[in-house]
Amino acid sequence: MSLQKSDELLDFLRQHGIQAKTFDHAPVHTVAESRALRGDIPGAHTKNLFLRDSKRRFFLVVTDENTPIHLKALGPAIGARGGLSFGSQEALLEHLGITPGAVSLLAAINDRQKQVTVVIDRALLEHAPINCHPLTNERTTSLTREDIAAFFSATGHEPQYVNLPAGT
């Protein structure tokens, strides 16, 4: 099966009864650009880190865009072995089928081999809605925490829900 594209992902969500609202906007590559260009989309906006540990295990860490992340403290909280570093663009494309700027929890749809551990910050789930990119940085999709759980169930992923340590 080929990698999913944005419109195919949105069709997948609809087919699984997931009520997503999607907004089109200019391409954004960073949280700062997103804040400036996304307009008034309500809810929490995600920050997504594609990481690998020293054993070459991959993690997709998803939290609120305002949450500070310190990789040294994050590793033990998510079960990483050794130090964490950012995954390469090649690994991102290989495992999640996306390019930098479009990293999102929804990219798990392309991780058919389940080689990436998806880590969700529990604090993020306190917000409604939760906004993320639908495999492109030219759109933002709003989901409820129930929608996110249904998405992971439909893709066969079991995310790791963690309380990120203060000052991670």
pLDDT tens readout for residues 55-96: 999 999 999 998 999 888 899 999 999 999 999 999 999 999
Does position 42 have pLDDT exceeding 70, yes or no? yes
Classify residue 139: in a domain, yes or no: yes
Classify residue 38: in a domain, yes or no: yes
Total number of domains constituting the chain: 1
Structure tokens at 56: 């070459």
Nearest to 159 by CA among 59, 91, 33: 59
Classify residue 168: in a domain, yes or no: no
Task: Write out pLDDT tens, residues 3-40.
Answer: 679 999 999 999 999 999 999 888 877 777 777 766 67
Measured CA to CA, the distance from residue 38 to residue 160 in angstroms comes to 28
Residue 142 burial (10 A CB sphere; 0-12, 13-18, 19+): buried
Confidence of residue 168 (pLDDT cuts 50, 70, 90): very low
Classify residue 1: in a domain, yes or no: no
Q: Residue 99 maps to which CATH number? A: 3.90.960.10
Classify residue 167: in a domain, yes or no: no
**Which residue segment(s) compose the domain that 61 sits in?**
6-162
